[in-house]
Structure 1
Amino acid sequence: MGNIVVHDQNNTNIAHCPEEDVEWTFIVLPVYSLVIAVLGIIFNVFVLMVFCLHKKACTVAEIYLSNLAAADLVLVSCLPFWAVYAAKKFNWPFGGSLCRLVNLSISMNVYCSIYFLVLVSIDRYMALVHPLSHERLRRPKSAKLGCLLVWALGLLLSVPTLIYREVKYFSGINATLCYLNYPNTTVMLLCEGMLTMFIIVIPIPIISFCTFKVIKVLNNRLMKASNTKKKEQKATTLVLAVLIAFLICWVPLHLVKIIELLMRAELLVGCTLGTIVETCRQILTYLAYFNSVLNPILYVILGTLFRKRVKELFKQWSWKRTVTLRFFFSMISVLV
């Protein structure tokens, strides 16, 4: 979400509009951001520990979900900076380097998250709709390579954030902003249009198609599923919940950003519309942040296999602790 900014100064279409009272943001946003940051860090670290420290190797779907948890962890780790930014009435106190780095990290989270979900939806599609046709693509090595390519794509798509983010003082509003400063409207429309293409136009149809096919197959197989198929269905239920949660949390924000893009291109005009768009963007931005906390909750509530891993991991730790204590006491008895 490196392109989502507070009080972006590039919107010349509504530059003449009167300033709206945004005092509520200085109180609500810092508290909300810190709560989301604390919960998100705790929950996603827990998820990564379960996936990474368990003695059994991760399945393909779990490889994608663990990378999604890593992307969510990156996002929530950046939220304290935005909490301070909002608390200081949108005066950025951390300098230009952190302005670019924090926004680069947030931006990568958005792009990586949606393409991890693309990969996991394709994996569920191949597992249930064409279970025998694409076994090579559903190997852990292929999944890890796919995740590596997604991280590289996220970094590539975040280059505009790295180039055009800057810190500047605006005397008119008496604030030092960390914002996107495109050199001209053409570059802005090109960058924003390209990112909209990669965030909505390409991934959403793929996710929707795979999800529709998977749900159709699940309905047909519900009464005659073997144990193997039941295992795939349990994993798929969790994936579908994560997909739906992501779409609910993120799609409204991106739709608002499309409207904002049309306003910047002066295809839509009006102070009232500008005020509505700005307010919606503020609210929907922080709804989108909540997705990084929601995913780990879904793993626990709906992830039967995930809960099984948690129990096995705790037993594994309990056994190791017991062995260590026995060794410790046996050493003491020998020395005494």
Structure 2
Amino acid sequence: MSLLLESLRHQVLDVFLSLPQQNLSAAPPCPDLYDWAWLYGGQPVYMVLITLLGAALNVFVLLVFCLHKKACTVAEVYLSNLAAADLVLVSCLPFWAVNVSNGFDWPFGRFMCKAVNLGIKINTYCTINFLVLISMDRYVALVHTLSHGRMRRTKYAKLGCVLMWGVGLLLSVPTLVFRDVKHFPEYGVTACFLEYPNLSAALFFDVMLIVFSFIVPISIISFCTVKIIQALKVQVAGRVSAERGEQKATHLMLAVLLAFLVCWLPFHAVTVLDVLSRAGLLGGCALESVLEICNQIFTYLAMFNSVLNPVVYVIVGKNFRKKVFEIFTEWNLKKSVTSESSRSSHLSSTLKTLA
């Protein structure tokens, strides 16, 4: 069973990385330097907690945007889609929690194996791409102020979100194709695993993940962020105050971006090292052992981003808190009006009876 765990312990990580499964019958190239029992025991509990917190918080965010009487702004359209992407992730994690607690014996069938991993991979691409849209929106609003009225319309924002969902789905096709369920009688398990035809294909799709889910988006976001900060400095130096709403939206964007970097930067850094190691450019059992443990820990940190985003909205997003307050105020008002109407109706019926 220890050999099986050695071969399958990338299962949760594979959801994000598209790592090829090692041959289950092959001996591991390096000896185990860690006791993995604590990690396997903690994985299901952690994923269940992330699911419960992430589902509750992201549903709350979506309800606030949907129930508020005013239409969503461009920034809120992007943030609501970001919450939807996080909701896709946390809705898939319970399946992996069951898989890990079941000794990596996948009980949900081939379709769910592909669907669950497809959903989580889509989250990987869409989360960063929605941050790209948010950054570009702030860039246009603060740097190209004269043209932002024409470009920053909600219909364009919605179209951009649909496009990003499509891009995320397209880039996740390898997961849909190469994820499969296979029974291994020698270990008595039916595993949901990722099997590329060869190492070259595996490295190609890993590099594609790094480029399109981190390098390209972060380059665009970095450019926009630098220009935004420069524009804000010019406004301060020239004593020109930007619109209060634009400043609040920019602060929220920077906070969400910081939360993403804290959660995802270590994950992508380890991903790069892992690709270099499997390509033969880096080597050594010590490095492989360090990458093993870092892969697991940083994957869990990346998952936490789906819980952290709604918290950032509440702490930094003053407009979001204002919307929450207005919704609860309106709900309490309707409740009191309904209660008063009910009492009046009851009193009227009583008086008619007495008459």
User: What's the TM-score once normalised by structure 2's chain length?
Assistant: 0.87
Aligned counterparts, 1:156-235, within 5 A: 156-170=170-184, 175-222=189-236, 224-226=239-241, 229-235=243-249
CA contact (8 A) 1:14 1:271 kept: no
SS in 2 for 1:167: strand
Partner of 1:313: 327
Cα distance, 1:274–1:297 mapped onto 2, change above 3 Å: same
2:336 maps to which of 294, 297, 322? 322
Equivalent pair of 1:13/1:263 in contact (CA under 8 Å):
no
Residue identity opposite 1:24 in structure 2: W
User: Shift of the alpha carbon at 1:272?
Assistant: 1.9
Structure 2: distance between partners of 1:23 and 1:103: 24
Partner residue, 1:56: 70
CA apart distance, 1:129: 1.2
Q: 1:199 to 1:6 in 2, by over 3 A?
A: closer
Unaligned runs of 5+ in 2: 1-13, 351-355
Residues 1:113 and 2:161 aligned together: no
Give the deviation of 1:277 after TM superposition: 1.0
Matches within 5 A, 1:34-53: 34-53=48-67
Relative to the length of structure 1, the TM-score reads 0.92
Query: What SS does the corresponding residue of 2:193 show, helix, strand or coil?
Result: strand
Map 1:1-336 → 2, pairs under 5 A? 2-4=15-17, 8-9=21-22, 15-19=28-32, 20-170=34-184, 175-222=189-236, 224-226=239-241, 229-336=243-350
Between structure 1 and structure 2, the one with the greater Rg is 2
Tell me if structure 1 keeps the 8 A contact 2:18–2:205: no
In 1, distance between residues paired with 2:46 and 2:262?
19
Instruction: Give, in angstroms, the shift of residue 268 of structure 1.
Output: 2.3
Cα separation, 2, equivalents of 1:177 and 1:261: 23
Amino acid at match of 1:2: V
The alpha carbon displacement at 1:191 in A equals 1.8
Q: Retained in 2: the 8 A contact 1:115–1:150?
A: yes
- 1:43 Cα deviation after fit: 0.7
RCO comparison, higher one (Cα < 8 Å, 6+):
1
> In 2, distance between residues paired with 1:169 and 1:2?
19
Compared with structure 1, are the counterparts of its residues 297 and 113 closer, same or farther at alpha carbon in structure 2 (3 Å cutoff)?
Answer: same
Distance 1:268 1:185, change over 3 A: same
* Paired residues of 2:18 and 2:206 also in contact (CA < 8 A): no
Provide the C-alpha distance between the structure 2 equivalents of 1:122 and 1:155, rounded to a whole number of angstroms: 22
Contact kept? 2:20, 2:195, Cα under 8 Å: no
Q: Distance in 2 between matches of 1:173 and 1:288?
A: 31
Deviation at 1:278, TM superposition (A): 1.4
Tell me the alpha carbon deviations over residues 111-140 of structure 1, each in whole angstroms, 9 at most, x when there is no partner: 111000000000001111111124322101
Give the total of aligned pairs. Answer: 335
Residue 14 of structure 1, CA deviation: 8.8
> Quick check: 1:123–1:138 contact (8 Å CA) kept in 2?
yes
CA contact (8 A) 1:3 1:180 kept: no
Inter-CA distance 199–332: structure 2 relative to 1 (3 Å threshold): same
Structure 1 CA distance, aligned partners of 2:321 and 2:240? 22
Residue 324 of structure 1: how far off its partner (Å): 2.5
Q: Tell me: CA distance 1:232–1:332, structure 2 relative to 1, closer, same or farther (3 Å).
A: same
What percent identity do the matched residue pairs reach? Answer: 54
Amino acid at match of 2:270: V
Q: CA RMSD in A?
A: 2.3
The one-letter amino acid paired with 1:44 is N
Deviation at 1:92, TM superposition (A): 2.2
Contact 1:14 1:274 in 2 (8 A): no
Q: Secondary structure of the equivalent of 1:193? A: helix
Distance 1:298 1:133 in 2: 29
Matched with 2:5 is none
Equivalent-residue separation in structure 2 for 1:277 and 1:97 (angstroms): 31
Whether the aligned pair in 1 keeps the contact of 2:128 and 2:214 (CA below 8 Å) is no
Taking structure 1 as reference, are residues 298 and 235 closer, same or farther at Cα in structure 2, changes over 3 Å only?
Answer: same
